[in-house]
Amino acid sequence: MAVPELVTALDLAAHPEGGWYRRTWTSPVTVPTAHGPRPTATAILYLLDGVSRWHRVRSAELWCRHSGSPIALSFGGDGEAPVEERTELLGPPGHDGASPQVEVLAGVWQAATLQGDEPALVTCVVSPGFDFADFEMD
């Protein structure tokens, strides 16, 4: 499917970092954090059709691949601004060392780049749960 068809079929909205998303699950259990209560975890469907902006989240994140082109996840440290340190490939096992799941540590800068022509569909699970108050873009 083309990007506009997938966006419509999955009821996705534009994400500020780039790509498209929809929250699909929020844990009913909450935990206190230094920035207020958060659900223990949340999940989104995320459709990447190009490159995301550098961003970071106060919580840990797990990217889980569903379909489409592999994604290069670049990590830029935990300083004031991103400085690319390493890249991991999210994709089908056995494809150039790709993994079907990639963890992003809390507070680490990240950016995603599509590695092919087909949009990539992933689930991102964030724990403690995602809140835009915990999100920062470069």
Question: What pTM does this model have?
Answer: 0.95
pLDDT in tens, 77-105: 999 999 999 999 999 998 899 999 999 99
Can you list the domains of the chain with their CATH numbers?
Answer: 5-137 (2.60.120.10)
pLDDT in tens, 115-124: 999 999 999 9
Edge-first strand order for the sheet with 135-137 is 86-90, 71-75, 110-114, 55-57, 135-137
pLDDT bracket for residue 6 (50, 70, 90) = very high
Q: For position 123, what pLDDT does the model report? A: 98
Q: What is the mean pLDDT of residues 24-31?
A: 98
**β-bridge mates for residue 17, sequence order:** none
Please check the confidence at residue 1 and state whether its pLDDT lies above 90: no
